[in-house]
Amino acid sequence: MVGVVVSASVLSAAPAGAVHGAVPGDFNGDGYRDVVMPAPGANVSGKAGAGAVVVLYGSKSGVSTASKRQTITQNSSAVPGSAEAGDAFGTATATADLNHDGYADLLVGSPGEDTTRGTDAGSVTVLWGSKSGLTTATMLDKPTGLDGSVNQDHYGLDIAALSLGTGAKTRVTVAGNEGTLFVSGPFSHTGTHGAVGYENNTASVVGVALGDFNQDGVPDPVIDTDRLSGLSGGEVYLNTGATYLLARGNGLVSATGDVNGDGYTDLVVADPDDPTTNGVDGAVGGRILLWYGSKTGIAAGATPVQLTQSTAGVPGTSAKNDGFGAALAVSDLDGDGAADIVVGTPQETSNSRAGVVTVIPGRRTGTLGTGSYSLTQDTAGVPGASETDDMFGTTVAIGDINGDGKPELLVSAGSENNSTGAVWVFPGTASGPTATGSRMFTAPSVGLTQTSRTALGGSGLLPLI
Protein backbone atom coordinates (compact mmCIF):
# COMPACT_ATOMS: atom_id res chain seq x y z
CA MET A 1 0.00 0.00 0.00
CA VAL A 2 -0.85 2.54 1.08
CA GLY A 3 3.45 2.82 -1.91
CA VAL A 4 8.94 7.27 5.67
CA VAL A 5 12.51 10.64 14.35
CA VAL A 6 10.30 8.06 15.47
CA SER A 7 11.09 5.82 18.34
CA ALA A 8 13.28 2.88 17.47
CA SER A 9 10.31 0.65 18.22
CA VAL A 10 8.58 1.41 14.94
CA LEU A 11 9.68 -1.80 13.18
CA SER A 12 13.14 -2.20 14.56
CA ALA A 13 13.32 -5.79 13.35
CA ALA A 14 13.01 -4.72 9.71
CA PRO A 15 15.62 -3.28 7.36
CA ALA A 16 15.49 0.36 6.31
CA GLY A 17 12.02 1.23 5.07
CA ALA A 18 10.75 1.18 1.53
CA VAL A 19 9.27 4.33 0.10
CA HIS A 20 6.40 3.02 -1.97
CA GLY A 21 3.27 0.99 -1.46
CA ALA A 22 0.98 -0.60 -4.01
CA VAL A 23 -1.75 1.44 -5.63
CA PRO A 24 -5.09 -0.38 -5.50
CA GLY A 25 -5.40 -3.01 -8.25
CA ASP A 26 -8.34 -5.05 -9.57
CA PHE A 27 -7.10 -8.51 -8.62
CA ASN A 28 -10.36 -10.36 -9.36
CA GLY A 29 -11.46 -8.47 -12.48
CA ASP A 30 -14.83 -7.33 -11.13
CA GLY A 31 -14.30 -3.71 -12.17
CA TYR A 32 -13.38 -2.45 -8.71
CA ARG A 33 -9.84 -1.91 -7.52
CA ASP A 34 -8.78 -3.66 -4.33
CA VAL A 35 -6.92 -2.06 -1.42
CA VAL A 36 -3.50 -3.38 -0.41
CA MET A 37 -2.58 -2.89 3.26
CA PRO A 38 0.88 -4.22 4.05
CA ALA A 39 1.80 -5.06 7.63
CA PRO A 40 5.53 -5.83 7.50
CA GLY A 41 5.81 -5.97 11.29
CA ALA A 42 3.07 -8.58 11.73
CA ASN A 43 3.89 -11.69 13.73
CA VAL A 44 3.02 -14.92 11.93
CA SER A 45 2.74 -18.23 13.76
CA GLY A 46 4.93 -16.90 16.54
CA LYS A 47 7.54 -15.49 14.13
CA ALA A 48 8.09 -11.84 15.08
CA GLY A 49 8.11 -9.43 12.17
CA ALA A 50 7.54 -12.13 9.56
CA GLY A 51 5.07 -9.78 7.87
CA ALA A 52 1.69 -9.94 6.19
CA VAL A 53 -0.38 -8.21 3.52
CA VAL A 54 -4.11 -7.59 3.93
CA VAL A 55 -6.22 -7.13 0.78
CA LEU A 56 -9.70 -5.58 1.05
CA TYR A 57 -11.62 -6.24 -2.15
CA GLY A 58 -13.36 -3.21 -3.64
CA SER A 59 -17.04 -2.88 -4.48
CA LYS A 60 -19.61 -0.28 -5.55
CA SER A 61 -19.65 0.95 -1.95
CA GLY A 62 -15.87 0.93 -1.63
CA VAL A 63 -14.30 -1.06 1.21
CA SER A 64 -15.21 -1.58 4.84
CA THR A 65 -14.41 -3.99 7.65
CA ALA A 66 -17.20 -6.14 6.19
CA SER A 67 -15.54 -6.27 2.76
CA LYS A 68 -14.15 -9.48 1.36
CA ARG A 69 -10.76 -9.73 3.04
CA GLN A 70 -7.68 -11.78 2.31
CA THR A 71 -4.66 -11.95 4.62
CA ILE A 72 -1.55 -13.20 2.86
CA THR A 73 1.67 -14.37 4.52
CA GLN A 74 4.51 -16.62 3.52
CA ASN A 75 2.61 -19.39 5.31
CA SER A 76 -0.41 -18.94 3.03
CA SER A 77 -1.33 -21.73 0.66
CA ALA A 78 0.43 -21.44 -2.71
CA VAL A 79 2.88 -18.77 -1.48
CA PRO A 80 6.46 -20.04 -1.86
CA GLY A 81 8.66 -20.24 1.22
CA SER A 82 7.63 -19.94 4.85
CA ALA A 83 7.26 -17.17 7.39
CA GLU A 84 10.41 -16.50 9.41
CA ALA A 85 11.20 -13.93 12.05
CA GLY A 86 12.31 -10.63 10.54
CA ASP A 87 11.39 -11.44 6.94
CA ALA A 88 9.30 -8.23 6.81
CA PHE A 89 7.02 -9.58 4.07
CA GLY A 90 5.15 -6.52 2.80
CA THR A 91 7.91 -3.96 3.29
CA ALA A 92 7.40 -3.02 -0.36
CA THR A 93 4.40 -3.70 -2.60
CA ALA A 94 3.52 -2.86 -6.20
CA THR A 95 0.69 -3.65 -8.61
CA ALA A 96 0.45 -4.12 -12.38
CA ASP A 97 -1.12 -6.58 -14.81
CA LEU A 98 2.16 -8.27 -15.58
CA ASN A 99 0.89 -11.05 -17.83
CA HIS A 100 -1.90 -9.05 -19.51
CA ASP A 101 -4.69 -11.43 -18.62
CA GLY A 102 -7.03 -8.67 -17.41
CA TYR A 103 -6.26 -9.15 -13.71
CA ALA A 104 -3.89 -6.99 -11.68
CA ASP A 105 -1.00 -8.80 -10.00
CA LEU A 106 0.64 -7.96 -6.68
CA LEU A 107 4.38 -7.93 -5.99
CA VAL A 108 5.54 -8.16 -2.38
CA GLY A 109 9.06 -7.56 -1.09
CA SER A 110 10.58 -9.41 1.88
CA PRO A 111 13.97 -7.73 2.29
CA GLY A 112 14.76 -9.60 5.52
CA GLU A 113 14.31 -13.03 3.93
CA ASP A 114 17.16 -15.50 4.37
CA THR A 115 17.80 -17.38 1.13
CA THR A 116 20.47 -19.60 -0.38
CA ARG A 117 22.22 -16.33 -1.30
CA GLY A 118 22.68 -15.56 2.39
CA THR A 119 21.27 -13.89 5.49
CA ASP A 120 18.86 -11.02 4.76
CA ALA A 121 19.42 -11.55 1.04
CA GLY A 122 15.76 -10.69 0.44
CA SER A 123 13.08 -11.93 -1.93
CA VAL A 124 10.15 -10.77 -4.07
CA THR A 125 6.90 -12.73 -4.38
CA VAL A 126 4.47 -12.28 -7.29
CA LEU A 127 0.84 -13.00 -6.40
CA TRP A 128 -1.15 -13.54 -9.59
CA GLY A 129 -4.62 -12.12 -10.06
CA SER A 130 -7.49 -14.27 -11.27
CA LYS A 131 -11.30 -14.41 -11.28
CA SER A 132 -10.98 -15.67 -7.69
CA GLY A 133 -8.49 -13.00 -6.69
CA LEU A 134 -4.92 -13.66 -5.55
CA THR A 135 -4.70 -17.45 -5.43
CA THR A 136 -1.32 -18.44 -6.91
CA ALA A 137 2.20 -17.12 -6.48
CA THR A 138 5.74 -17.43 -7.81
CA MET A 139 9.08 -15.92 -6.87
CA LEU A 140 10.79 -13.16 -8.84
CA ASP A 141 14.25 -14.41 -8.03
CA LYS A 142 17.40 -12.37 -8.25
CA PRO A 143 19.76 -14.44 -10.41
CA THR A 144 22.89 -15.59 -8.65
CA GLY A 145 26.19 -14.07 -9.63
CA LEU A 146 24.87 -10.57 -10.26
CA ASP A 147 27.02 -9.14 -7.49
CA GLY A 148 29.77 -10.27 -5.15
CA SER A 149 27.72 -9.82 -1.99
CA VAL A 150 25.26 -12.39 -0.70
CA ASN A 151 24.55 -11.21 2.84
CA GLN A 152 22.54 -8.13 3.82
CA ASP A 153 21.51 -7.36 0.23
CA HIS A 154 17.86 -6.76 1.27
CA TYR A 155 16.60 -7.41 -2.27
CA GLY A 156 12.95 -6.31 -2.31
CA LEU A 157 13.49 -3.18 -0.24
CA ASP A 158 11.40 -1.27 -2.77
CA ILE A 159 9.52 -2.31 -5.93
CA ALA A 160 8.06 -0.48 -8.92
CA ALA A 161 5.95 -2.09 -11.65
CA LEU A 162 4.48 -0.48 -14.77
CA SER A 163 2.75 -1.97 -17.80
CA LEU A 164 2.52 0.17 -20.94
CA GLY A 165 1.90 -2.80 -23.25
CA THR A 166 2.96 -6.35 -23.93
CA GLY A 167 6.48 -7.75 -23.90
CA ALA A 168 9.25 -5.36 -22.92
CA LYS A 169 6.69 -2.57 -22.45
CA THR A 170 5.97 -4.14 -19.06
CA ARG A 171 8.73 -3.75 -16.52
CA VAL A 172 9.51 -4.40 -12.85
CA THR A 173 12.30 -2.67 -10.93
CA VAL A 174 13.53 -3.95 -7.57
CA ALA A 175 15.79 -2.12 -5.12
CA GLY A 176 18.37 -3.67 -2.81
CA ASN A 177 21.34 -2.51 -0.81
CA GLU A 178 23.79 -3.64 -3.49
CA GLY A 179 21.97 -2.27 -6.54
CA THR A 180 18.84 -2.37 -8.69
CA LEU A 181 17.33 -5.23 -10.68
CA PHE A 182 15.40 -4.55 -13.91
CA VAL A 183 13.07 -7.26 -15.22
CA SER A 184 11.22 -6.93 -18.53
CA GLY A 185 8.23 -8.82 -19.90
CA PRO A 186 6.75 -10.94 -21.21
CA PHE A 187 5.71 -12.31 -17.81
CA SER A 188 3.69 -15.47 -17.20
CA HIS A 189 1.86 -16.75 -14.15
CA THR A 190 4.27 -19.70 -14.06
CA GLY A 191 7.06 -17.28 -13.16
CA THR A 192 8.82 -16.87 -16.50
CA HIS A 193 9.81 -13.42 -17.72
CA GLY A 194 11.94 -11.61 -20.26
CA ALA A 195 15.32 -9.97 -20.01
CA VAL A 196 17.02 -9.17 -16.70
CA GLY A 197 19.39 -6.29 -16.13
CA TYR A 198 21.32 -5.24 -13.05
CA GLU A 199 22.79 -1.91 -12.00
CA ASN A 200 25.33 -2.31 -9.19
CA ASN A 201 27.34 0.85 -9.79
CA THR A 202 24.72 2.67 -7.75
CA ALA A 203 24.51 1.04 -4.33
CA SER A 204 22.51 1.90 -1.20
CA VAL A 205 19.29 2.13 -3.22
CA VAL A 206 16.24 2.98 -1.11
CA GLY A 207 13.65 3.76 -3.76
CA VAL A 208 12.69 3.04 -7.37
CA ALA A 209 10.08 4.37 -9.75
CA LEU A 210 9.11 3.92 -13.41
CA GLY A 211 7.86 6.27 -16.12
CA ASP A 212 8.14 6.67 -19.89
CA PHE A 213 10.27 9.80 -20.24
CA ASN A 214 11.53 9.35 -23.81
CA GLN A 215 8.15 8.46 -25.36
CA ASP A 216 9.23 5.05 -26.65
CA GLY A 217 6.49 3.13 -24.84
CA VAL A 218 8.95 1.37 -22.52
CA PRO A 219 9.09 2.23 -18.79
CA ASP A 220 12.29 4.02 -17.74
CA PRO A 221 13.68 3.45 -14.22
CA VAL A 222 14.36 6.12 -11.61
CA ILE A 223 16.74 5.21 -8.78
CA ASP A 224 16.93 6.97 -5.40
CA THR A 225 19.91 6.22 -3.18
CA ASP A 226 20.43 6.69 0.53
CA ARG A 227 22.26 9.84 1.59
CA LEU A 228 25.42 9.86 -0.51
CA SER A 229 27.92 12.59 -1.35
CA GLY A 230 27.31 14.40 1.94
CA LEU A 231 24.03 15.92 0.73
CA SER A 232 20.49 15.86 2.05
CA GLY A 233 18.38 13.05 0.64
CA GLY A 234 20.15 10.78 -1.81
CA GLU A 235 21.36 10.87 -5.37
CA VAL A 236 18.68 10.51 -8.06
CA TYR A 237 19.42 8.66 -11.29
CA LEU A 238 17.29 8.46 -14.42
CA ASN A 239 17.77 5.71 -17.00
CA THR A 240 16.42 6.29 -20.50
CA GLY A 241 18.96 4.02 -22.14
CA ALA A 242 21.96 5.52 -20.37
CA THR A 243 21.92 6.14 -16.64
CA TYR A 244 22.63 9.70 -15.61
CA LEU A 245 22.59 11.64 -12.36
CA LEU A 246 20.10 14.45 -11.92
CA ALA A 247 22.79 16.65 -10.46
CA ARG A 248 20.61 19.64 -9.63
CA GLY A 249 18.49 17.80 -7.10
CA ASN A 250 18.42 14.97 -4.64
CA GLY A 251 15.90 13.01 -2.60
CA LEU A 252 14.75 9.70 -1.15
CA VAL A 253 11.52 8.98 -3.04
CA SER A 254 10.33 9.57 -6.61
CA ALA A 255 7.03 9.36 -8.47
CA THR A 256 6.00 10.02 -12.06
CA GLY A 257 3.00 11.60 -13.78
CA ASP A 258 1.90 14.41 -16.07
CA VAL A 259 1.64 17.32 -13.62
CA ASN A 260 1.01 20.03 -16.23
CA GLY A 261 -1.20 17.98 -18.55
CA ASP A 262 0.96 18.45 -21.66
CA GLY A 263 1.13 14.74 -22.48
CA TYR A 264 4.70 14.23 -21.27
CA THR A 265 5.77 12.33 -18.16
CA ASP A 266 7.17 14.51 -15.39
CA LEU A 267 9.41 13.41 -12.54
CA VAL A 268 8.63 14.37 -8.94
CA VAL A 269 11.25 13.75 -6.24
CA ALA A 270 10.83 14.27 -2.49
CA ASP A 271 13.73 15.31 -0.29
CA PRO A 272 12.37 15.31 3.29
CA ASP A 273 15.74 16.12 4.89
CA ASP A 274 16.81 19.46 6.23
CA PRO A 275 19.82 20.92 4.39
CA THR A 276 23.23 19.48 5.12
CA THR A 277 24.73 22.76 3.94
CA ASN A 278 22.42 25.77 3.79
CA GLY A 279 22.10 27.14 0.28
CA VAL A 280 23.77 24.10 -1.25
CA ASP A 281 21.26 21.28 -0.83
CA GLY A 282 17.84 20.61 0.61
CA ALA A 283 15.38 23.02 2.19
CA VAL A 284 14.41 23.53 5.81
CA GLY A 285 11.55 21.17 6.62
CA GLY A 286 11.89 19.23 3.37
CA ARG A 287 11.08 19.91 -0.26
CA ILE A 288 9.56 18.56 -3.45
CA LEU A 289 11.44 18.82 -6.75
CA LEU A 290 9.64 18.68 -10.10
CA TRP A 291 11.29 18.11 -13.46
CA TYR A 292 8.89 18.76 -16.32
CA GLY A 293 9.07 16.31 -19.19
CA SER A 294 9.19 17.22 -22.87
CA LYS A 295 9.30 15.56 -26.28
CA THR A 296 13.03 15.07 -25.69
CA GLY A 297 12.60 13.85 -22.11
CA ILE A 298 14.49 15.32 -19.14
CA ALA A 299 18.01 16.61 -19.64
CA ALA A 300 20.73 15.58 -17.19
CA GLY A 301 21.42 19.19 -16.24
CA ALA A 302 17.82 20.37 -16.09
CA THR A 303 16.83 22.62 -13.18
CA PRO A 304 13.75 21.45 -11.26
CA VAL A 305 10.93 23.49 -9.74
CA GLN A 306 11.12 23.47 -5.93
CA LEU A 307 8.09 23.33 -3.64
CA THR A 308 8.09 23.59 0.16
CA GLN A 309 5.56 24.36 2.87
CA SER A 310 6.64 27.98 2.48
CA THR A 311 5.70 28.05 -1.23
CA ALA A 312 2.80 30.42 -1.92
CA GLY A 313 -0.50 28.54 -1.73
CA VAL A 314 0.91 25.50 0.10
CA PRO A 315 -0.56 25.20 3.62
CA GLY A 316 1.72 25.36 6.64
CA THR A 317 5.15 26.81 7.21
CA SER A 318 8.48 25.12 6.68
CA ALA A 319 10.14 24.24 9.97
CA LYS A 320 13.16 22.17 10.87
CA ASN A 321 12.55 18.40 11.05
CA ASP A 322 9.06 18.54 9.45
CA GLY A 323 9.98 15.85 6.93
CA PHE A 324 7.83 17.32 4.12
CA GLY A 325 8.08 14.68 1.40
CA ALA A 326 8.51 11.56 3.53
CA ALA A 327 5.72 10.05 1.41
CA LEU A 328 4.82 10.85 -2.19
CA ALA A 329 2.22 9.94 -4.81
CA VAL A 330 1.35 11.52 -8.16
CA SER A 331 -2.03 10.97 -9.85
CA ASP A 332 -4.97 12.94 -11.23
CA LEU A 333 -7.38 13.26 -8.30
CA ASP A 334 -9.86 15.73 -9.80
CA GLY A 335 -10.09 14.56 -13.41
CA ASP A 336 -8.74 17.74 -14.99
CA GLY A 337 -6.03 15.93 -16.95
CA ALA A 338 -3.17 17.22 -14.79
CA ALA A 339 -1.72 14.91 -12.15
CA ASP A 340 -1.76 16.11 -8.56
CA ILE A 341 1.11 15.75 -6.09
CA VAL A 342 0.27 14.19 -2.71
CA VAL A 343 2.86 14.78 -0.01
CA GLY A 344 3.11 13.10 3.39
CA THR A 345 4.67 15.01 6.28
CA PRO A 346 4.48 12.52 9.16
CA GLN A 347 6.91 14.46 11.35
CA GLU A 348 5.06 17.79 11.09
CA THR A 349 6.43 19.71 14.06
CA SER A 350 3.46 22.07 14.37
CA ASN A 351 1.27 19.18 15.56
CA SER A 352 3.93 17.23 17.49
CA ARG A 353 4.48 14.71 14.69
CA ALA A 354 0.82 13.74 14.54
CA GLY A 355 1.34 14.20 10.80
CA VAL A 356 -0.27 15.90 7.82
CA VAL A 357 -0.92 15.16 4.15
CA THR A 358 -0.88 17.93 1.55
CA VAL A 359 -2.40 17.83 -1.93
CA ILE A 360 -0.77 20.13 -4.50
CA PRO A 361 -3.05 20.26 -7.57
CA GLY A 362 -1.46 19.85 -10.97
CA ARG A 363 -1.92 22.88 -13.19
CA ARG A 364 -1.94 23.39 -16.95
CA THR A 365 -1.46 27.11 -16.39
CA GLY A 366 -0.73 29.32 -13.41
CA THR A 367 1.53 28.90 -10.43
CA LEU A 368 2.00 25.44 -8.96
CA GLY A 369 1.00 25.51 -5.28
CA THR A 370 -2.18 27.50 -5.82
CA GLY A 371 -5.23 25.67 -4.50
CA SER A 372 -3.26 23.28 -2.29
CA TYR A 373 -4.95 21.83 0.78
CA SER A 374 -4.14 19.57 3.72
CA LEU A 375 -5.72 16.70 5.61
CA THR A 376 -5.05 15.60 9.19
CA GLN A 377 -6.83 13.47 11.74
CA ASP A 378 -8.31 16.72 13.07
CA THR A 379 -9.94 17.60 9.74
CA ALA A 380 -13.72 17.56 10.16
CA GLY A 381 -15.11 14.17 9.17
CA VAL A 382 -11.85 12.24 9.56
CA PRO A 383 -12.11 9.35 12.05
CA GLY A 384 -9.70 9.36 14.98
CA ALA A 385 -7.83 12.30 16.44
CA SER A 386 -4.33 13.70 16.04
CA GLU A 387 -1.99 12.51 18.76
CA THR A 388 1.70 13.07 19.32
CA ASP A 389 3.83 10.78 17.14
CA ASP A 390 0.95 9.21 15.17
CA MET A 391 2.87 9.95 11.95
CA PHE A 392 -0.22 10.42 9.75
CA GLY A 393 1.15 10.55 6.20
CA THR A 394 3.68 7.73 6.59
CA THR A 395 2.56 6.39 3.20
CA VAL A 396 0.10 7.61 0.57
CA ALA A 397 -1.53 5.90 -2.42
CA ILE A 398 -4.25 6.67 -4.94
CA GLY A 399 -6.79 4.47 -6.77
CA ASP A 400 -10.47 4.16 -7.65
CA ILE A 401 -11.90 1.41 -5.44
CA ASN A 402 -15.65 1.93 -6.04
CA GLY A 403 -15.59 2.20 -9.82
CA ASP A 404 -17.06 5.69 -10.06
CA GLY A 405 -14.10 7.14 -11.95
CA LYS A 406 -13.06 9.33 -9.02
CA PRO A 407 -9.96 7.94 -7.30
CA GLU A 408 -9.74 7.52 -3.57
CA LEU A 409 -6.80 8.73 -1.48
CA LEU A 410 -5.27 6.26 0.98
CA VAL A 411 -3.13 7.47 3.87
CA SER A 412 -1.37 5.51 6.60
CA ALA A 413 -0.01 6.42 10.02
CA GLY A 414 2.80 4.03 10.89
CA SER A 415 3.03 4.95 14.58
CA GLU A 416 -0.70 5.04 15.33
CA ASN A 417 -1.78 2.94 18.32
CA ASN A 418 1.61 1.78 19.58
CA SER A 419 2.93 1.38 16.04
CA THR A 420 0.25 -1.12 15.07
CA GLY A 421 -0.59 1.40 12.37
CA ALA A 422 -3.76 2.55 10.65
CA VAL A 423 -5.00 3.32 7.14
CA TRP A 424 -7.58 5.94 6.08
CA VAL A 425 -9.57 5.86 2.85
CA PHE A 426 -10.77 9.27 1.62
CA PRO A 427 -13.59 9.05 -0.97
CA GLY A 428 -12.96 10.57 -4.36
CA THR A 429 -15.13 13.37 -5.75
CA ALA A 430 -15.11 15.49 -8.90
CA SER A 431 -12.92 18.01 -7.06
CA GLY A 432 -10.65 15.51 -5.30
CA PRO A 433 -10.67 13.47 -2.08
CA THR A 434 -13.02 14.43 0.71
CA ALA A 435 -12.98 13.82 4.44
CA THR A 436 -16.75 13.29 4.36
CA GLY A 437 -17.39 9.57 4.56
CA SER A 438 -13.73 8.74 5.11
CA ARG A 439 -12.96 5.46 6.84
CA MET A 440 -10.22 4.40 9.22
CA PHE A 441 -8.86 0.85 9.38
CA THR A 442 -6.82 -0.21 12.38
CA ALA A 443 -4.80 -3.41 12.57
CA PRO A 444 -7.33 -5.17 14.86
CA SER A 445 -10.20 -4.16 12.57
CA VAL A 446 -8.63 -6.20 9.75
CA GLY A 447 -7.76 -9.16 11.96
CA LEU A 448 -4.20 -8.31 13.06
CA THR A 449 -4.34 -8.44 16.84
CA GLN A 450 -0.79 -8.03 18.12
CA THR A 451 -0.38 -5.03 20.40
CA SER A 452 2.64 -3.28 18.84
CA ARG A 453 4.86 -2.92 15.75
CA THR A 454 2.39 -4.31 13.21
CA ALA A 455 2.86 -1.22 10.98
CA LEU A 456 -0.41 -1.57 9.07
CA GLY A 457 -0.05 0.47 5.90
CA GLY A 458 3.71 0.11 5.92
CA SER A 459 6.53 1.91 7.66
CA GLY A 460 7.49 4.05 4.66
CA LEU A 461 10.60 6.12 5.27
CA LEU A 462 10.16 6.26 9.04
CA PRO A 463 13.23 4.10 9.71
CA LEU A 464 15.33 6.49 7.60
CA ILE A 465 14.23 9.99 8.57
Which domains occur in the chain, in start order?
35-446 (2.130.10.130)
- When pLDDT is averaged across residues 84-92 and rounded to a whole number, the result is 96
Helix (H) or strand (E) holding 238: strand 236-239
pLDDT of residue 145: 64
pLDDT of residue 9: 28
Phi, psi of 314 (to 5 degrees): -85, 125
Phi, psi of 276 (to 5 degrees): -75, -40
* pTM for the whole structure: 0.94
Q: Which residues on adjacent β-strands are paired with residue 243?
A: 239
Predicted confidence (pLDDT) at residue 22 exceeds the cutoff of 90: no
SS (H, E, C) 396-431: EEEECCCCCCCCEEEEEECCHHHHCEEEEEECCCCC
| Mean of all residue pLDDT scores within the chain | 91
143-170, pLDDT tens digit by residue? Answer: 776 665 556 689 999 999 999 999 999 9
Nearest to 182 by CA among 127, 237, 247: 237
Higher pLDDT, residue 268 or 226:
268
Calpha distance 241→347 (Å, rounded): 37
Q: What percent of the chain has pLDDT over 90?
A: 80
Higher pLDDT, residue 240 or 169:
169
CB 200 within 8 A of CB 190: no
pLDDT of residue 422: 97
pLDDT of residue 249: 83
Instruction: Identify the three-state secondary structure at position 282.
Output: coil
pLDDT of residue 6: 27
